Structure 1
Amino acid sequence: MERADLTETLEDAGLSPYQADAYVTVLELGAAPVTRVADASGVPDPRIYDVLRDLESAGYIETYEQESLYARANSLDALTDDLRTRANRFTEATEEIERRWNEPSVEQSTVSIVTRFETVIKNADEFIRDAETQVNVSVGAEHFERLRPALQAATERGVRVNLSIHTPDGDTESLPDPEDLEGVCSEARHRRLPSPFVVIVDRTRTCFAPHAGSTNEYGVLVDDRTHTYVFHWYFLTTQWDTWEPIYTSLDNDEPPIDYIDIRYCVRDVTPLLRDGATVRVRIEGTDTDTGTDRVVEGPLSEVIVTGDGDVAAESIASYGGRVALVVETDDGPVEVGGWGAMVEAVEAHRITVVDVE
């Protein structure tokens, strides 16, 4: 390193120009009279004593009497420790700037674009660990292993976990065995096409990243019900509904039967009501007027499906219009809607068919 570069670096480290110049001069001369240090450096004679005194106070040099006042470099520990501390602070600041640039806080924005997949999967893991009612996941086999502990913890808490695993070219060898999925999810399906990475948690949070063949690497973090609803429909119609299960822990033949999505419930109970059966339900949800938690219990008297939907259809995509249940309670009939219900009295979060007669 050239002398000018060294003095400039020392100035960046906090020394004044005179201090940096004097210190480098002392290093070059070794022990030398102060007057010689002044002559060999660019420090004016009237300032040299003050400059050296400041360097001595900082521990960089020491002065001593030998016929005249001499100066020599002190132990290098003080300087090197100081420089290393400053260098580490610059490194940490650089890393923090990169982190903040790559990971804008979800709390500060409903939708955040990030540049690294690692950011997406890290947030997905955190969201899943905070899940309370439901998690929908579409991942490749390798990313499933990364999220397995979080998914297992959510399942153990009673969260409904729907897991869609995609493999390249429909490969089945990389799929986990059904016994390896026990306790990790409620149900798993195999999508035989490459797919994006999607995690949807509690109807409010989404993590998304394009599939590996995408031109650009980026991710989307969502903390917003409206945007998440779009991803929810994408998951149901392309990642879930049309693919066969490879594992399920759900016994959907005999009550009690739990539903997270009202459309699946409507699809299953409509034929029962047409045949004259009495279907009793318990619905946990939110009052759409007050926003408070509300539980509705009683027999179903009607299902409401608007638009061109066919309630006999297997595909959930057929239920794109308004879908609602009418529950007969002691206080009269109550209309219950699904995610984002506005015209109904209750937005259902969990529907349980408790009995069918």
Structure 2
Amino acid sequence: METESLVETLEAAGLSPYQADAYVALLELGTASATDVADASGVPAPRIYDVLRSLEEREYVETYEEGSLRARAHSPSVVLNDLRSRANRLEAAAEEVEQRWEQPELEAGDASIVTRFRTVIERAEAFIRNANHQILLSTTTGNLRRLAPALRDAVGRGVSVRVSVHTGEDEAPPDPDLFEGVCIEARHRPLPAPFVALADRRQASFAHHPDSYDRYGVLVNDRTHTYVFYWYFLTVLWEPWETVYEAASEGLPAEYLDIRHLVRALRELDWRDGPVRLRVEGYETGTGEERTVEGTVVDVRVPYASKTRSGFELAGQVTIDLDAGGDHVSVGGWGALVEDIEGTRLTIVDAPSTP
């Protein structure tokens, strides 16, 4: 670095112009009288004494009397520590500015476009750590490992976590051990796919896959917009692909991701032939308050009549009616309006046979 650039850098680090000039001159002189430092640095002679003493207070130099005032530069350790500390603070400030620009706080009903994937995955991690009920995740194995600590913590809190892992053409299928403790069910899509993280049916974090022409991310804190990402996850990233991991053993209780999955299971059980007991965790549609109810299935209302259908038709209202201790309770899926409860976790706890 040239002398002029060094002086400018020291000024940026907090020295006055006279202090920076005098210190750089003293570094070159080693030990010198105050007048020699003034001559070498261009600092006016009447000011050099105050400048040297101010540098001494900062532990940049030391002064002593030897017929006249003389000065020498201290060991640079103090200066180096000072400069490095300032550099670290500047770097931290730069990162904070970038983060705040890229990652604005999301108020309820907000949606933001961001340009870096790091912002998308960091916000996804925050969504996961704050989730109370359900997490749906589409990711690569590498990003799954990054999010694994937050996912394990969520599973430990009783959050229902499902993961769709996508791999490239030359990648091996994911090892089932990868999912141990981080989700209750995982599926494998052997094709590139976007990164999608959905939390509690309200928050979404989305980014195109790395090879996509469009490189941007979307952050959402809104039920309506998140509902769109949910259907994309369900129909493209989940339903068509093979299950590669299930934490629960076969049998009951059996938890279902969507009310349509539950209807399919009820058909396989032939629920009319014997009592099927269902536990529903969700929200009252009238008040928005959380509610858990358990009862016997008394009716399944779907917009199609044929029993040969799969039970996962996408359009139309799907409702399950329960007898909960003599009370009639109707249960709908995500976005339910006319039912009593919007079910977020649907679990068959007892049935004549296992689906």
User: Matches of residues 43-82 of structure 1 in structure 2 within 5 Å?
Assistant: 43-67=43-67, 69-77=68-76, 78-82=78-82
Q: Which amino acid aligns with 1:238?
A: V
Report the Cα offset of residue 233 of structure 1.
0.7
SS of the counterpart of 1:11?
A: helix
Contact between 1:135 and 1:159, CA under 8 Å: does it hold in 2? yes
User: Matches of residues 98-137 of structure 1 in structure 2 within 5 Å?
Assistant: 98-106=98-106, 110-137=110-137
Q: Do structure 1's residue 176 and structure 2's residue 157 form an aligned pair?
A: no
Contact between 1:13 and 1:86, CA under 8 Å: does it hold in 2? yes
Contact between 2:27 and 2:73, CA under 8 Å: does it hold in 1? no
Report the Cα offset of residue 234 of structure 1.
0.7
Q: Do structure 1's residue 225 and structure 2's residue 223 form an aligned pair?
A: yes
**Structure 1 residue aligned with 2:296:** 299
Name the CA distance, whole Å, in 2 between partners of 1:20 and 1:270: 82
The one of 236, 242, 258 equivalent to 2:255 is: 258
**Structure 2 residue aligned with 1:286:** 283
- Normalising by structure 1, we get a TM-score of 0.80
Deviation readout 1:108-164 (Å, 9 max, x if unpaired): 984344433344344444544544433322233444444455545544554433332
**Structure 2 residue aligned with 1:340:** 335
Report the Cα offset of residue 26 of structure 1.
3.9
Contact between 1:151 and 1:184, CA under 8 Å: does it hold in 2? yes
Q: Which amino acid aligns with 1:48?
A: I
Q: Which amino acid aligns with 1:74?
A: A
Report the Cα offset of residue 214 of structure 1.
0.7
Runs (5+) with no aligned partner, structure 2: none
Name the CA distance, whole Å, in 2 between partners of 1:143 and 1:149: 11
Contact between 2:136 and 2:198, CA under 8 Å: does it hold in 1? yes
**Structure 2 residue aligned with 1:325:** 320
Aligned residues with identical type, % of pairs: 50
Name the CA distance, whole Å, in 2 between partners of 1:100 and 1:280: 49
**Structure 2 residue aligned with 1:83:** 83
Q: Residues 320, 72 of structure 1: CA spacing in aligned structure 2 closer, same or farther, 3 A cutoff? A: same
SS of the counterpart of 1:161?
A: strand
Name the CA distance, whole Å, in 1 between partners of 2:14 and 2:181: 58
Runs (5+) with no aligned partner, structure 1: none
The one of 330, 343, 349 equivalent to 2:344 is: 349
Report the Cα offset of residue 4 of structure 1.
3.1
Q: Residues 324, 31 of structure 1: CA spacing in aligned structure 2 closer, same or farther, 3 A cutoff? A: same
Q: Residues 337, 59 of structure 1: CA spacing in aligned structure 2 closer, same or farther, 3 A cutoff? A: same
Q: Which amino acid aligns with 2:51?
A: V
SS of the counterpart of 2:70?
A: strand
User: Matches of residues 183-262 of structure 1 in structure 2 within 5 Å?
Assistant: 183-250=181-248, 256-262=253-259
SS of the counterpart of 1:168?
A: coil
Contact between 1:241 and 1:315, CA under 8 Å: does it hold in 2? no
Q: Which amino acid aligns with 2:336?
A: A
How many pairs align? 351
Name the CA distance, whole Å, in 2 between partners of 1:331 and 1:13: 76
Q: Residues 47, 126 of structure 1: CA spacing in aligned structure 2 closer, same or farther, 3 A cutoff? A: closer
Q: Which amino acid aligns with 1:75?
A: H
Contact between 1:152 and 1:183, CA under 8 Å: does it hold in 2? yes
Report the Cα offset of residue 293 of structure 1.
2.5
Report the Cα offset of residue 37 of structure 1.
4.1
Q: Residues 192, 313 of structure 1: CA spacing in aligned structure 2 closer, same or farther, 3 A cutoff? A: farther
Contact between 1:22 and 1:37, CA under 8 Å: does it hold in 2? yes
Report the Cα offset of residue 177 of structure 1.
4.6
Comparing 102-111 with 208-217, greater Cα deviation is found at 102-111
Name the CA distance, whole Å, in 2 between partners of 1:278 and 1:262: 18
Q: Residues 119, 276 of structure 1: CA spacing in aligned structure 2 closer, same or farther, 3 A cutoff? A: same
